[in-house]
Structure 1
Amino acid sequence: MNYEESLKYIEETHKFGVRLGLDNIGKLLELLGNPQEKLNIIHVAGTNGKGSTCSFISSVLKEAGYKVGLYTSPFLETFTERIRVNGENVPEEDVARIVTLIKEKIEQMVSEGYSYPTEFEIVTAMAFYYYSEQKTDYVALEVGMGGRYDATNIINKSEVSVITSISLDHIGILGDTVEKIAYEKGGIIKENGTVIVYDQSDAVKNVIKNICKDKNAKYIEVKFDNIEIKQSDIYSQTYDCKVIKKEYKDLEIKLIGDHQINNSMLALSVIEYLKENKNLNISEETIKKGLINTRWPGRIEKIKENPVFIIDGAHNEDGARSLAKAIKKNFEGKKLTLLIGMLEDKDIEGVLEILIPNFNKVITTTPDNTRAISCEVLKEKISKYVDNVVAKPQIEEAVKYTLENACEEDIIISAGSLYMIGTVRTLVNAK
């Protein structure tokens, strides 16, 4: 297969849906020679902040001279973003070559009575195989959904497990309370391992602590009460903090929002843990360089000036709160327009209640996804919060309308679905 054919093959497996469980991915990887067993993995689960945290970790390790794999999902603009080594996307020819091999192994396992792997299982197997070929020193591995039965959790060991902020999401699959969701996320914790946990509700932390007790795992909590933010705008943030036993001054990140400072501190805690327990030699100067060089597109990212155009993947209550907080902090008193599209299986009412009161005008659109809510239905839901709502079914049409009806001093924000904002990013950058 060539690259286009391999992508088509992967996309066609979407019909097999989401299937949590490890039997299929286990068999596929066994036929590939169990490449995951050759990797040093930093495994990151959570509802929000997984990708940002993985990016901070991989950027610092790269600056320290390590060869680092970064596995994230979904992609914004191109499939190859999901599998990176030292910031470089997996080459298209490698995707084609590895998918061709995986297809052969799948045909073998199906002939032996196994179910057809899902899209996520295939991509995860591809990532493990590629990182093994590349002889990476470390892999920052983002969980897809949940943790316990997520395909990434086929690994039987990790350097450290990491739990980011947990809130309600995928409730039809993971559970309808934060405790149930925390239990699924905590499934990545290994026997006698270590987990580093984002400071959050006691309900979540108690679940994680109980899992640690059962697995004889070490629990490390990252506190955010000693942060001093020195400067913060839509370009960068500078702060002082204490991480584990180490005090840092004048750390700077380009990612926007208080939650990104927290995510960078969580990543820093991982780096400090690796330095102390895995004998990594990483200087403070390297850490600072790694943090400031971290990029994570689609998370309160400014992609245009005059008018300012920001995209953000906020699609659940926690993400909406972080975006609303950033809006109040940076754009108080400005004329704000929201371009929004959402998926039906998200907490739509919860997100709208938090986000919509911040905006003067809203344009709804329909993401290119079978789970999308139609722009007309979304418009109806939003109308109870704001009078000025316009529905534009096609994303391209919605972006064009939004830009044509904006003044230079306006602030435009596009949010609601990661599956949509990648397309928005491409369209706006092309203008």
Structure 2
Amino acid sequence: MMNSLTDNLPSILYGEGDRLAILKALLKQLGHPDQTMKIIHVAGTNGKGSTGTMIAHLLLGHGYRTGIFTSPHLYTECESIRVNDQMINQEEFNRVMIEVHQAAVILGLNPETDLSQFETTFLIAMVYYAHLACDYLVLECGVGGALDATNAISHSDYAIFTKIGMDHLNLLGDSLQAIVETKAGIMRPNQQVVVAPHQKDGVLSFLKTKANAMGSKLFDSSDQVVHFVRPYYYQVELSTKMYQLYLPLLGRFQTENLKTVMKWYQVWLSVEDEKVEKVNLASVFKKIKMTGRFEQVQSDPTVILDAAHNLDAIEEFVASIQASYPNQALNILCGFLKDKDVASILDRLITLPANFYVTQPDFPERAMASEELAVMFEERGVTPTICPDSRSCLIDLMEDSTRPVLVVGSFHLIKKVRDLFDD
């Protein structure tokens, strides 16, 4: 397992002083790399990774050199920075990091204490995309929107809002209204704005009001025609023509993500005067992969890993499992961070017919202890098994070929076990 290249940096500095002013000054010092490409900025609570990845593949299918910035990573920040679906290599990452550090020193900053891991990775990414002369960048927000490091960019051409819900309450606010206002901060004047379907009450109306005030056009994905046929197979409508797609991503929620992507795609085709006939949609979508997001990593027995770490994601996880494995006995290994709404998460999770195994994610500062999680299960009439070692527990569970094994919760739990399935 690779170590993080920026482990020595502060993990987060969100909200500490005017972070955006610092990052904007650094982008200027680095030659405004953000101004060299068209940018699709993606914000939301869930679905950002899948949505952004599909969009990047569509642009690549049209022949554009396309960068994508995602988070979090599993093993190394290199995973967050890709061009044409190829990850930056470690040597190049280190070389560009030196360039970023030199810019920080010129501005009187200490790059080892005044920049967080995420901020440093974002700056490295922007310089790298400019070096490779990317035509487009799909830029995924880390946390929130208005104060997120990615919002230091000077412009974006498209803003996409995936499903917005309650998460990161300690950073974004303890109400849906506060969270929506923060995420809406990525909007720019005269922009194309696309919103995922089935938003919570008040979300769409707020985004519409803000878009109108900024002279931007907003497109609601709710009317986009996407039919779920069976797992991995969909029908989508573009310009009155139906297309059959194989999308190798599991989960009921992918229907909503596809609606968002197809709505954006139709807007993009019109704005950029492009033609869908230039690309083989079936070929584009069958190449898409996502690690740790409702990912089936083994078939005998079935093993699914899902970094469903907040209430909305758990609700989608439960619904997807109920649809795929109705009334089937399951083994579920789970672990969460203590700043999540774990009580509500467990209320949903225990509706599944499962034996539960609890463990502590590999994030000591924020992880909920497995003993504390076990008590919360017991308060709901369920007695779980405590697993001090998540990897050993998962290996043992896979000995039972009669039950699908589901690993769900914090990304730091998925990170701990995912390499068991690396080729």
The interval holding the TM-score normalised by the smaller chain is over 0.9
- SS of the residue corresponding to residue 311 of structure 1 reads strand
Deviation at 1:283, TM superposition (A): 2.2
8 Å CA contact retained: 2:333, 2:406: yes
Structure 1 pair 24–114 and aligned structure 2 pair: CA distance change class (3 A): farther
Aligned position for 1:313: 307
CA distance in 1, matches of 2:111, 2:290: 41
Counterpart residue identity of residue 10, structure 2: H
Deviation at 1:134, TM superposition (A): 0.6
Counterpart residue identity of residue 404, structure 2: I
Aligned position for 2:202: 203
Q: Is residue 18 from structure 1 mapped to residue 14 from structure 2 by the alignment?
A: yes
TM-score normalised by L of structure 2: 0.93
8 Å CA contact retained: 1:306, 1:410: no
Deviation at 1:224, TM superposition (A): 5.2
Query: Residue by residue, what CA displacement relative to the aligned partner does 1:68-122 show, whole Å, maximum 9, x if unpaired?
Result: 1111000124431100011111011101101112222223323599981222111
Query: Residue by residue, what CA displacement relative to the aligned partner does 1:254-279 show, whole Å, maximum 9, x if unpaired?
Result: 11122112112211222221111012
CA distance in 2, matches of 1:145, 1:416: 18
Equivalent residue pairs, number: 418
Match of 2:338 among 335, 344, 355: 344
Q: Is residue 327 from structure 1 mapped to residue 321 from structure 2 by the alignment?
A: yes
8 Å CA contact retained: 1:164, 1:198: yes
CA distance in 1, matches of 2:339, 2:412: 13
Deviation at 1:16, TM superposition (A): 5.3
Structure 1 residue runs of 4 or more that deviate by more than 4 Å after TM superposition: 111-115
Deviation at 1:238, TM superposition (A): 2.3
Match of 2:392 among 397, 408, 413: 397
- SS of the residue corresponding to residue 308 of structure 2 reads coil
CA distance in 2, matches of 1:256, 1:15: 31
Q: Is residue 94 from structure 1 mapped to residue 88 from structure 2 by the alignment?
A: no
8 Å CA contact retained: 1:264, 1:291: no
Alignment of 1:165-204 (within 5 A): 165-199=163-197, 200-204=199-203
8 Å CA contact retained: 2:335, 2:368: yes
Deviation at 1:293, TM superposition (A): 1.9
Whose helix proportion is higher, 1 or 2? 1
Aligned position for 1:419: 412
Q: Is residue 50 from structure 1 mapped to residue 65 from structure 2 by the alignment?
A: no
CA distance in 2, matches of 1:386, 1:224: 42
CA distance in 1, matches of 2:299, 2:405: 10
Deviation at 1:196, TM superposition (A): 0.4
Deviation at 1:42, TM superposition (A): 0.7
CA distance in 2, matches of 1:163, 1:334: 35
CA distance in 1, matches of 2:36, 2:243: 37
Structure 1 pair 380–203 and aligned structure 2 pair: CA distance change class (3 A): same
Aligned position for 1:69: 67
TM-score normalised by L of structure 1: 0.91
Structure 1 pair 320–78 and aligned structure 2 pair: CA distance change class (3 A): same
Among the aligned pairs, what percent are the same residue? Answer: 27
Alignment of 1:274-285 (within 5 A): 274-283=268-277
- SS of the residue corresponding to residue 314 of structure 1 reads coil
Aligned position for 1:30: 28
Alignment of 1:91-170 (within 5 A): 91-111=89-109, 116-170=114-168
8 Å CA contact retained: 2:165, 2:312: yes
Q: Is residue 271 from structure 1 mapped to residue 271 from structure 2 by the alignment?
A: no
Q: Is residue 229 from structure 1 mapped to residue 222 from structure 2 by the alignment?
A: no
Counterpart residue identity of residue 352, structure 1: L
CA distance in 2, matches of 1:84, 1:260: 22
8 Å CA contact retained: 1:237, 1:256: no
Structure 1 pair 192–214 and aligned structure 2 pair: CA distance change class (3 A): same
8 Å CA contact retained: 2:362, 2:416: no
Deviation at 1:285, TM superposition (A): 5.0
Query: Residue by residue, what CA displacement relative to the aligned partner does 1:323-344 show, whole Å, maximum 9, x if unpaired?
Result: 1111111111221011111111
Aligned position for 1:82: 80
Query: Residue by residue, what CA displacement relative to the aligned partner does 1:165-186 show, whole Å, maximum 9, x if unpaired?
Result: 0000001111112221111111
- SS of the residue corresponding to residue 137 of structure 2 reads strand
CA distance in 2, matches of 1:126, 1:398: 37
Structure 1 pair 113–272 and aligned structure 2 pair: CA distance change class (3 A): closer
CA distance in 2, matches of 1:122, 1:282: 37
Higher mean alpha-carbon deviation, 35-44 vs 104-113, is at 104-113
Structure 1 pair 87–226 and aligned structure 2 pair: CA distance change class (3 A): closer
Aligned position for 1:409: 402
Query: Residue by residue, what CA displacement relative to the aligned partner does 1:395-416 show, whole Å, maximum 9, x if unpaired?
Result: 3233234334xx2121110010
8 Å CA contact retained: 2:68, 2:81: yes
- SS of the residue corresponding to residue 202 of structure 2 reads helix
